[in-house]
Amino acid sequence: MSKEKILAAYEQMAEAYNALVMHKPHNAYYDRPNTLRLLPNVKGKTILDAACGPGVYAEILMDLGALVTGFDLSPKMVDLAIQRNPGRGTFFVHDLSKPLERIGDHSCDIVLCALALHYIEDWSMTIKEFHRVLKSGGVLVISIQHPFYEFNFFKSKKYFEIEPVKCTWRGFGSPVEVHSYRRPLSACLSPLTGNGFYIDELVEPKPSKEFEPLDPKHFRELNEFPAFMCIRAVKRKGPT
Ligand SMILES: C[S@@+](CC[C@H](N)C(=O)[O-])C[C@H]1O[C@@H](n2cnc3c(N)ncnc32)[C@H](O)[C@@H]1O
């Protein structure tokens, strides 16, 4: 699967995503509250927002007193993140699957990667880079599509494989085909535990109450079966 297709999809969606993401139920009342809850106190903390999109997480975290650097594959998303956060934060174009040369060793207290790792086939380099840039005891918080949800949604017959999948999104402007990788639960956890992290908390989230009036059907479904999974992993102390 080509990175170009993912990039093209987000370049096409960027404006609509930016306009809607503050109140879109799956983002505002499902992913964000559950993912933010996994972060420690961020005041004065240095945070890397990996695949920052239009900078909504960065905005929330900087309002809480954090120092945020964000990057994204999509230049339009990076421009929107800069516009959303005038005069604060640092944002640049970068591919999650490439070495993070601009970020120093042990320079971050927290790395956040919300709803983006499923665009990467092989997580090992990315997680190793998150580990390198984090201080000892630093926290990595990720949110991803729940592996069991994806197995059902994509009607997979090969649970144990990492396989390319695609679906059409209709919620951010005109329909757009979004390509990603579905993987088993073990392939979500072993890149973390195998690269110097321990899993501190794993959340199968439920939507918050604001979700219900906006989208009662998905509110009911998400209370019966999770679509996302949020993880807090901690960089083990000791020699790296
Ligand atoms: C669903 S959006 C999430 C954005 C943001 N984290 C949020 O939750 O609001 C996924 C983001 O991942 C970005 N992305 C996809 N593949 C990427 C890659 N290889 N490197 C960096 N960013 C990527 C997209 O451009 C998009 O902005």
pLDDT in tens, 152-178: 999 999 999 999 999 999 988 889 999
Pocket test for ligand 1, best of 1, 4, 5, 10 (most atoms within 8 A of CB): 10
Tokens of 68: 């945020």
pLDDT for 239 equals: 59
Ligand 1 site, residue 73, Cβ cutoff 6 A? yes
**Residue 1: band (very low, low, confident or very high) from pLDDT cuts 50, 70, 90:** low
Label residues 55-93 b or e (16+ Cβ within 10 Å = b): bbbbbebbebebbbbbbbbbebbbbbbbebbeeebebee
CB of 119 closer than 6 angstroms to any ligand 1 atom: yes
Q: Whose CA is nearest to atom 1 of ligand 1?
A: 115
Distance 107 CA to ligand 1 centre (A): 22
- Residue 172's pLDDT is 86
Q: Is 28 in the pocket of ligand 1 (CB under 6 A)?
A: no
The domain ranges of the chain are 3-235
Residue 59: the pLDDT is: 98
Question: What tokens appear for 129 in the block?
Answer: 């880079």
Q: Ligand 1 pocket, 51 CB below 6 A?
A: yes
Whole-structure pTM value = 0.97
Stretch 122-129: mean pLDDT: 97
| Predicted pLDDT of residue 2 | 79
Q: Which CATH number fits domain 3-235: 3.30.70.260, 3.40.50.150, 3.30.565.10, 3.10.20.30?
A: 3.40.50.150
201-220 burial, b for 16+ CB within 10 Å, e for fewer?
A: eebebebeeebeeebeebbe
Dist. CA 72 → ligand 1 center (Å): 6
Q: Is the CB of 108 under 6 A from ligand 1?
A: no
At residue 125 the predicted structure's pLDDT band, cuts being 50, 70 and 90, is very high
Q: Is the pLDDT of residue 240 over 90?
A: no
